[in-house]
Amino acid sequence: MTVLPSGIWRLPAAFGDGRGLGERAYVVSLSVLSEILAFTAIGLIARWGEVFPRWIPFLRGRRVPRRAAVLLAAIGAAGLTLLFTLLFIASEIRGTTIRGGDLPADFPSQAGGWEAAWFYFCYAPLTLWGPLLGVLTVAYWKRRSAAERTPVAA
């Protein structure tokens, strides 16, 4: 739920005036890809994050390698925390883009009023995506480690 509000904010902007087909396709693709990547975090709490589902050829029924899942999730959490949490907050404090350039006059946070409030309402949850994924990753590691250490009763 931390990713969905930014997609809701982004999609209407994709179809605003002055946007070319390529830019529209990019914004829609970015929104869809973000949702798909966010959904993969469900694997850290669902059964399919421990055992590959039947529909995956060659892997069906095998255990998901704990270290591989944790490594990928930790890299994702670190990257998301850097990009959406640290850089976003730092750029907001400095009043610049995340690349360090000046904010354009039509940047949503510069608009003021309800437009800026709507922008922050939709993008503030995105700053939690990385840290929350980090918490899920640690919990997954601990749960899977404890399960592998626990002897199976016969």
> For position 104, what pLDDT does the model report?
83
Confidence of residue 154 (pLDDT cuts 50, 70, 90): low
Contact 75, 68 (CB under 8 A): no
Confidence of residue 64 (pLDDT cuts 50, 70, 90): very high
Confidence of residue 152 (pLDDT cuts 50, 70, 90): low
> For position 35, what pLDDT does the model report?
94
Share of the chain above pLDDT 90, in %: 54
Confidence of residue 15 (pLDDT cuts 50, 70, 90): confident
Mean pLDDT for all residues in the chain: 89
Share of the chain above pLDDT 70, in %: 97
DSSP string across 57-80: TTTTTSBPPHHHHHHHHHHHHHHH
Section 86-109 average pLDDT: 84
Q: How many CA atoms lie within 13 A of 52 on its CB side?
A: 13
Count helices and strands (H / E) in the chain.
6, 0
For 61, residues 6+ apart whose C-beta sits below 8 A from its C-beta are: 51, 52, 54
Contact 5, 125 (CB under 8 A): yes
Contact 88, 123 (CB under 8 A): yes
18-36 pLDDT tens trace: 788 998 999 999 999 999 9
Section 94-121 average pLDDT: 84
Contact 141, 66 (CB under 8 A): yes
